């Protein structure tokens, strides 16, 4: 069995910049994946004690070799928000990275037979403390490290049920067609990485409320973001970015062919 995109899905991805496939993973698989994720979080907490702490716009970051940890704003600045690259802390994540339910559609997007890993990250929105992500594209983060940002498609795996109340993934449909858009010029350190809202139309917002086990494939130029988790429920997501084979990963410079 294969999981390649249908012609209809290919057309939708080209036009809108994303595809949602629901219920791709079973409850048993998700239980196992959540245990792997929480083990990775514990490893990140231990690693952070030996890392370099710094602040950007008063937000806490810790670098440990090629690993970067991002934390929630104060007063929750001991709560992890993002772990990247997550697989460097837990090789069991490779089980997800190599799953054909993720890799076959990526091969459809890239029109290749073999792929490699660019980066992977865990986004943790803990109940009632998980902050939102402003509107942004991924490509501006990567343009200085890749000569081919067009070929870095993403997969977003919902590890928990996601809704507006716990900060589901939201996109601006069709925004990927404009390529890299300018960032904001608000004078902050990170402002340039958030997309100037004059360059896209909020009327095209799609809130992707989806059950755990659903998967979202999205273009690196697609403007996306999310709101805070105001609920009492977890909203964890695993985001994997692929590329054609034999290309080096973002942070380590190593090659990880799938």
pTM above 0.75, yes or no: yes
Give the C-alpha separation, 178 to 201, whole Å. Answer: 12
Domain 7-244 in CATH 2.60.120.620: yes
The pLDDT tens digits along the chain (258 residues) read: 899 999 999 999 999 999 999 999 999 999 999 999 999 999 999 999 999 999 999 899 999 999 999 999 999 999 999 999 999 999 999 999 999 999 999 999 999 999 999 999 999 999 999 999 999 999 999 999 999 999 999 999 999 999 999 999 999 999 999 999 999 988 888 888 899 999 999 999 999 999 999 999 999 999 999 999 999 999 999 999 999 999 999 999 999 999
Could you give the strand order of the β-sheet that contains 154-158, starting from the edge strand earlier in sequence?
Answer: 18-21, 215-218, 154-158, 235-244, 115-125, 80-84, 67-71, 59-64, 52-56
């Amino acid at each position: 069995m294969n999981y390649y995109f249908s012609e209809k899905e290919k057309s939708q991805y080209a036009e809108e910049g994303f595809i949602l496939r629901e219920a791709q993973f079973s409850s048993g698989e998700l239980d196992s994946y959540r245990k792997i994720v929480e083990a990775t979080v514990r490893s990140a907490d231990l690693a952070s004690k030996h890392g370099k702490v710094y602040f950007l716009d008063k937000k806490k970051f810790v670098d440990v070799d090629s690993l970067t940890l991002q934390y929630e704003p104060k007063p929750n600045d001991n709560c992890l928000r993002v772990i990247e690259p997550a697989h460097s802390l837990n090789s069991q994540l490779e089980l997800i990275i190599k799953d054909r339910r993720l890799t076959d559609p990526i091969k459809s997007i890239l029109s290749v037979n073999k792929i490699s890993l660019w980066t992977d990250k865990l986004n943790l929105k803990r109940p009632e403390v998980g902050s939102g992500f402003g509107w942004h594209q991924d490509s501006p983060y990567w343009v200085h490290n890749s000569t081919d940002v067009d070929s870095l498609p993403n997969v977003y795996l919902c590890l928990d049920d996601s809704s507006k109340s716990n900060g589901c993934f939201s996109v601006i449909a069709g925004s990927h067609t404009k390529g890299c858009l300018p960032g904001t010029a608000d004078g902050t350190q990170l402002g340039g990485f958030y997309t100037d809202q004059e360059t896209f139309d909020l009327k095209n917002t799609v809130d992707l409320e989806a059950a755990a086990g659903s998967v979202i494939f999205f273009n690196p130029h697609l403007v996306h973001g999310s709101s805070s988790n105001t609920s009492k429920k977890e909203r964890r997501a695993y985001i994997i970015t692929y590329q054609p084979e034999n290309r080096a990963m973002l942070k380590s410079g190593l090659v990880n062919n799938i």
